[in-house]
Amino acid sequence: MTMKIFVPRDSTALALGADEVASAIAAEAKSRGLAIQLVRNGSRGMFWLEPMVEVETAAGRIAYGPVNEDDVASLFDAGFTEGKAHPLGLGKTEEIPYLKNQERLTFARVGITDPVSLDDYLAHEGYVGLKNALALSEEQIVKQVTDSGLRGRGGAAFPTGIKWETVRKCSPGQKYIVCNADEGDSGTFSDRMVMEDDPFMLIEGMTIAGLAVGANKGYIYVRSEYPHAITALNEAITVARNAQYLGVNILGSGKAFDLEVRMGAGSYVCGEETAMLESLEGKRGIVRAKPPLPALEGLFGQPTVINNVITLASVPIIMAKGAAFYKDFGMGRSTGTLPFQITGNIKHGGLVERAFGLTLRELIYDFGGGSRSGRPIKAVQVGGPLGAYVPPSQWDVPLDYEAYAALGLVVGHGGIVVHDDTANMAKLARYAMEFCAIESCGKCTPCRIGSTRGVETIDRIANAQDKEQQVHLLRDLCDTMVHGSLCAMGGMTPYPVLSALNHYPADFGLQTTEATAS
Amino acid sequence: MADTQISDHVHAAFDAVGMIDGALLPVLHEVQARCGYIPTDAVPLIADRLNLTRAEVHGVISYYHHFRQKPAGKVVVQVCRAEACQSVGADQLAEHVVRSLGCDFHETSKDGSVTLEPVYCLGHCACGPSIMVGDNVHARVTPERFDKLMQRAGSAA
């Protein structure tokens, strides 16, 4: 029997040497006269163990990692192809606590299958959702999504069903599904993983969205920093098209839907939905004023559903298992699961999909194992560069959209960046303003000018020039940015800035009373 | 680059992209892939094909960080400067990179071998600091590892 060996093709695994390991395994097997089948699977999302090699045995898949190319010969010597013991052995993959303690709905297949194998996808419950959707009316599909309680996973958490219903109700004509895959937030990679490691799931979700609202064309706007995601998506789209899962007659239903991947060009603000539409239309990525809502007048002026990758990737399981199944996960109005990404200065960084309601402390200690440096954790930024720095006193708040919002925090896209006690929060606050100045589209004044003034003001505070006045000025400036900016870029940059100032005044050279005086 | 060469590249770019809506960004990506940058002389040709003004095309090229208006060095090195990488020493790595290449960000080293660019997230945030050397991604990059990667890139070039 041919032995099946899995080496991930996920780009983080590649960045840690997965290709070299795969070549070494192929060469070693050849020199030993062993017949192996090398599968390039997705990553399980336990990145501190990458490159993680798995072998298929009668008892299930056995994992080894992190594997260096120099370890390959000794793995063969130890008989790893039969799942035998080796110092890098991790036991059965499914039994690794990090994985076992997750609730993987959207990421159920990720890391298990060959991402671009349609057979693998079908063998693991793929396209069940689409088949169910094809038997339903547009209204019934939208109702399922509405009933599931699914909310936009890009960060804004807008109810997906309501957005879809708005587009569905527009008079028939050209409508579009646009997938926002401009995942620019530092500390996030769940979109990237879906696209690289299970692209059919996104394709299926977008196809269902097309059926639901009467759109026959979809675009996936992927950032240029994600070349591997673009490659995997294009491979999968071609396969899906050849098998009639995309095209003019989906599975013989007479319904049409097709997809095109478009590459961004290194502009963070193009993750804002209207800037993204401008970019797709071939223009500078400048934010549009709303209204009109993109649902009514979106891409090329037509009704458009714009959803994040994870939102669309959550649709197949909702259609496969029903709204009630999905809604059972989570708490309050935050139903279902969120793939959290534990990153930064963390020992066990990776992807953890869990129902809403667990705490940051559980994520960074129970899953993450504390800081990578071994030093105390000082601050955790949740929700990307526009999310607040969460101090230890708030680490026991359940991760839920409403509970977080009540404290002025954001769950966002589920990115969690850990900083140890060497972090200088004034420097990070300055960086937030600096990043906004670099990436601002320039349309509105609070963001374009405010960000530059913000950098200068923080510099003056750090240099102890008129501290009291400058703190007052910074707060006033942040207030203007929050209330006067056209989009979240300028509107939320104050979140990390003010949270750093409020919770870590010493880093700004301030006493607590000086920091809070306004 | 000679005018005829630029014109050939622009035509080839349009052929590769085909007739699609909102073609400007895909065309610019194709031109950059062929020429290594977007030559000034390509702008009127692109504008003409898409029925746009030169100003509109120039506006798009200069808006996006990805498009370059001058040729780059033999290899482009992108170093992530974002928060997750900062938390594990990206600033120190960046200082080392600037010192060892002898050029700042957005610049090309004197011998023309390397162009250094900042990048804001490559999506390997659980294993920072991350960099890209040409098309290859590298995670958990220390100053020592960076030097080795550059030696390898140098001997491959």
The verdict on a CB contact (< 8 Å) between A417 and B24 is no
* Residue ranges of A 190-209 with Cβ closer than 8 A to chain B: 192
Cα distance between residue A40 and residue A33, in whole Å:
21
The interface predicted TM-score (ipTM) is 0.97
Full set of structural domains in chain A with CATH:
3-100 (3.40.30.10), 118-327 (3.40.50.11540), 330-420 (3.10.20.600), 425-516 (1.20.1440.230)
pLDDT tens string A74-84: 999 999 999 99
Secondary structure (3-state) at A258: strand
Q: Which of A185, A225, A264 sits opposite B122 (nearest CB)?
A: A225
**Looking at the DSSP assignment, which residues form a beta bridge with residue A354?**
A338
Looking at the partner chain, which of B82, B85, B139 has a beta carbon nearest the beta carbon of A12?
B139
Could you tell me if A431 and B86 are in contact, meaning their C-beta atoms sit under 8 angstroms apart? yes
Strand partners, A337: A355
Alpha helices in A18-127 (DSSP H): 18-31, 72-78, 97-100, 118-123
Q: How far is B58 from chain A (nearest CA, A)?
A: 10
- Ranges of beta strands (E only) in A296-388 are 304-308, 330-331, 334-335, 337-344, 350-355, 377-382
- Check CB contact under 8 Å for A184 and B124: no
Interfacial A residues in 398-417 facing B (CB < 8 Å): 415, 417
pLDDT tens over chain A, length 518 residues:
689 999 999 999 999 999 999 999 999 999 999 999 999 999 999 999 999 999 999 999 999 999 999 999 999 999 999 999 999 999 999 999 999 999 999 999 999 999 999 999 999 999 999 999 999 999 999 999 999 999 999 999 999 999 999 999 999 999 999 999 999 999 999 999 999 999 999 999 999 999 999 999 999 999 999 999 999 999 999 999 999 999 999 999 999 999 999 999 999 999 999 999 999 999 999 999 999 999 999 999 999 999 999 999 999 999 999 999 999 999 999 999 999 999 999 999 999 999 999 999 999 999 999 999 999 999 999 999 999 999 999 999 999 999 999 999 999 999 999 999 999 999 999 999 999 999 999 999 999 999 999 999 999 999 999 999 999 999 999 999 999 999 999 999 999 999 999 999 999 999 887 877 65
B69 three-state secondary structure: coil
φ, ψ of residue B36 to 5 degrees: the values are 90, -15
DSSP letters, A32-47, are TT--EEEE-----SBG
pTM: 0.97
Task: Calculate Rg over the CA atoms of chain B.
Answer: 18
Query: What tens digit of pLDDT does each residue of A269-325 get?
Result: 999 999 999 999 999 999 999 999 999 999 999 999 999 999 999 999 999 999 999
Q: Is A282 exposed, middle or buried (0-12, 13-18, 19+ CB in 10 A)?
A: buried
Residues A265, B65: C-beta atoms closer than 8 Å: yes
Which residues of B fall below an 8 Å CB-CB distance to A?
A: 20-26, 28-29, 50, 56, 59-60, 63-67, 80, 82-88, 119-128, 130, 135-140
Amino acid at residue number A59? A
- Return the bridge partners of A38, or none: A5
In this complex, which of A12, A263, A423 lies closest to B29 when CB atoms are compared? A263
Tally the residues of chain B.
157
- CA distance from start to end of chain B: 21
Q: What is the DSSP string of A209-250?
A: HHHHHT--EEEEEE-TT-HHHHHHHHHHHHHHHHTTSSBSSG
- In 3D, which of A44, A51, A57 has the Cα closest to residue A4? A57
Residues A281, A284, A285, A288: what is their CA dihedral angle, to the nearest 10 degrees? -80
